[in-house]
């Protein structure tokens, strides 16, 4: 059974997380970062982490600020906050005596784990699924209200049946965020996974990340998958690939 945990975010409010405990023998530990307005319970997060746990890799997945079961206001978040909170999650795991060996991120979470990796001493490898090369591209999701946000300071944004308050500071942070120098400076093994038919974040993003990264780097095409990994079996397939690829970098390997 997953263990429910809470830890402080980089901005103060508590974040809600789930630890999927690893099957024996324990091979290692990791942190999973979810997509832009998703949660720890999204198919990509929950099914991928459960599969990794079944293969001996314990995983912490958590809700970002103001999402899911976490406290705080989502509008106070940003790409910088997402990166900082990924570091907070890793520090929480470390304080438990299970420092993360690997970071895994889906969609915007993939960009976040690349940016966070060098701030987490225990991390030995990074894997991304459907990650964007430019975080500012999330603006196309809320472009219908962005002018109002910039003029008035905030606006309600409806996504997936949820009403979120979009703030000017969040929009401006994403506009200035960039991933290029984080990829160049990563210095860790990187696995880039992407569906060639991803209609939300095009596979060209994976190509740009891969071309920018230095070796050791690997690319796996997730044929038949959609961006959210809702196709049956796709999250588990992604997890099995990550598990096999990460084997040399886990635990005492």
Q: Is the N-terminal amide bond of 195 cis, ω within 30° of 0?
A: no
Q: Which residue has the tokens 């940003």?
A: 78
Q: What is the pLDDT of residues 163-173, one digit of tens each?
A: 889 999 999 99
- Note whether 173 and 136 are within 8 A (CB): no
The average confidence (pLDDT) of the chain is 95
- Note whether 32 and 60 are within 8 A (CB): yes
Alpha-carbon span 43 to 3, nearest angstrom: 18
Give the torsion sign (CA, 182, 108, 93, 220). Answer: negative
Q: What is the pLDDT of residues 8-55, one digit of tens each?
A: 999 999 999 999 999 999 999 999 999 999 999 999 999 999 999 999
- What's the pLDDT at 252? 64
- What's the pLDDT at 253? 47
Q: What is the pLDDT of residues 75-97, one digit of tens each?
A: 898 999 999 999 999 999 999 99
H/E element, 114: helix 108-116
């Amino acid at each position: 059974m997953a263990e429910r945990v809470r830890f402080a975010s980089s901005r103060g409010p508590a974040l809600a997380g789930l630890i999927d405990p690893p099957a024996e023998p324990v091979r290692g530990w990791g942190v999973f970062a979810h997509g832009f307005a998703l949660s720890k319970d999204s198919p990509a997060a929950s099914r991928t982490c459960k599969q990794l746990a079944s293969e001996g890799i314990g995983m912490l997945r958590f809700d970002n600020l103001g999402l899911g079961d976490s406290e705080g206001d989502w509008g106070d978040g940003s790409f910088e906050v997402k990166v900082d909170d990924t570091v907070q999650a890793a520090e929480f795991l470390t304080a438990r005596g299970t420092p993360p060996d690997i970071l895994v991120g889906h969609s915007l979470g993939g960009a976040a784990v690349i940016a966070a990796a060098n701030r987490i001493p225990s991390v030995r490898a990074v894997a991304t699924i459907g990650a964007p090369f430019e975080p500012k591209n999330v603006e196309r999701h809320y472009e219908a209200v962005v002018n109002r946000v910039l003029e008035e300071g905030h606006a309600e944004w409806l996504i997936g049946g949820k009403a979120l308050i979009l703030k000017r500071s969040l929009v401006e942070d994403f506009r200035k965020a960039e991933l290029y120098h984080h990829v160049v400076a990563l210095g860790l093994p990187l696995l880039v996974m992407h569906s060639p038919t991803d209609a939300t974040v095009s596979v060209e993003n994976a190509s740009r990340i891969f071309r920018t990264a230095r070796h050791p780097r690997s690319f796996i095409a997730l044929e038949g998958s959609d961006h959210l990994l809702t196709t049956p079996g796709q999250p588990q397939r992604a997890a099995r690939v990550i598990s096999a690829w990460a084997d040399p970098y886990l635990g005492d390997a």
